[in-house]
């Protein structure tokens, strides 16, 4: 089985960290391919960044499927381009936010999310509502750090994340805490051991869901919502991306 993990931003060091997590949780015999686009934002912090990361994400997704991927994980907690990828691919497409929330709903009565900047809070709140987890989501908290601060050794970002995780447990009475950024993927194990509460990394959760869905032979439904895009002409710089008949 081959799982394609795409970090939709262009920061290779974050992709390396994501790859390490995916490899650590993958079952024996599962091949992990972790990549990022060469074009796009260096970090994804809001709707504008999301919009410009999607073309690169789609290109990497299509290349991965051509190379034999059995499932795709989108390694950004905003789950950008999730529906677009499901339209163009038949393999299962898993977003790390959706996977983390689903996992949290199975191990605790309610969860909180610790994310990066305050601007991410309403985005994640909207995703909880979209996925049907608004009742279980106690609170979305911001550690008030930019995404790339998580790539800086000794910068204090991890300590700020820890503070919010502890606050989520004590103040929100969260029975699980989700790390709301793929750049936090290396913090989950230590925080779980320290607190005794499941601290869930979406990358790890999504890889395991991807393995399960691919193992079950499940495919993305191609009727109605995720029907293959209709063939039509695209113009200008995106002419190469035009959907083809039968694609």
Written as one string, the DSSP assignment of 168-181 is: HHHHS--SEEEE-S
**How many other C-beta atoms lie within 10 A of the C-beta of residue 108?**
17
Query: Considering the entire predicted model, what is its pTM?
Result: 0.95
Q: Which two tokens stand for residue 114?
A: 């610790």
CA atoms within 13 Å, Cβ hemisphere of 128: 23
Fold adopted by 97-201: Rossmann fold (3.40.50)
Q: To the nearest whole percent, how much of the chain has pLDDT over 90?
A: 96
Radius of gyration of the chain (CA): 18
Answer whether 111's CB lies under 8 Å from 175's CB.
Answer: yes
Burial of 189 (0-12, 13-18, 19+ CB in 10 A): middle
Residue-level pLDDT at 155: 79
Answer whether 224's CB lies under 8 Å from 121's CB.
Answer: no
- C-alpha–C-alpha distance, residues 84 and 20, integer Å: 27
Residues of each domain in the chain carrying CATH 3.40.50.12500:
2-96+205-241, 97-201
Condensed to tens digits (0 to 9), the pLDDT of residues 189-244 reads 999 999 999 999 999 999 999 999 999 999 999 999 999 999 999 999 899 999 98
Find tokens 């262009």 and name the residue.
10
Has residue 246 got a pLDDT over 90?
no
pLDDT level of residue 247 (50, 70, 90 thresholds): low
Answer whether 54's CB lies under 8 Å from 74's CB.
Answer: no
Q: Which two tokens stand for residue 118?
A: 């305050």
Domain 2-96+205-241, classified CATH 3.40.50.12500, yes or no: yes
- C-alpha–C-alpha distance, residues 161 and 144, integer Å: 9
Written as one string, the DSSP assignment of 6-20 is: E-SSS-HHHHHHHHH
Written as one string, the DSSP assignment of 95-108 is: EHHHHHHHHHHHH-
């Amino acid at each position: 089985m081959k799982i394609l993990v795409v970090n939709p931003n262009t920061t290779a060091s974050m992709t390396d960290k994501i790859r390490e997590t995916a490899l650590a949780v993958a079952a024996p015999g599962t091949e992990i391919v972790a990549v990022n686009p060469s074009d796009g934002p260096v970090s994804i912090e809001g709707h504008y960044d999301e919009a410009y990361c999607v073309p690169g994400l789609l290109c990497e997704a299509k290349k991965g499927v051509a190379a034999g991927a059995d499932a795709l994980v989108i390694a950004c907690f905003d789950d950008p381009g999730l529906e677009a990828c499901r339209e163009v691919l038949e393999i299962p497409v898993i977003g790390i936010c959706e996977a983390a929330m689903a996992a949290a709903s199975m191990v605790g009565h309610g969860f909180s999310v610790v994310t990066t900047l305050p601007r991410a809070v309403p985005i994640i709140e909207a995703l909880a509502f979209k996925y049907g987890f608004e009742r279980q989501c106690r609170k979305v908290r911001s550690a008030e750090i930019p995404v790339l601060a998580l790539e800086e050794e000794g910068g204090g970002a991890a300590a700020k994340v820890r503070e919010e995780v502890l606050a989520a447990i004590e103040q929100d009475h969260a029975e699980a805490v989700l790390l709301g950024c793929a750049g936090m993927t290396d913090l989950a194990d230590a925080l779980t051991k320290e607190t005794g509460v499941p601290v869930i990394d979406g990358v790890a959760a999504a890889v395991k869901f991807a393995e399960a869905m691919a193992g079950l032979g499940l495919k993305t439904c191609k009727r109605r919502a995720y029907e293959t895009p209709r063939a039509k002409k695209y113009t200008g710089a995106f002419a190469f991306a035009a959907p083809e008949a039968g694609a």
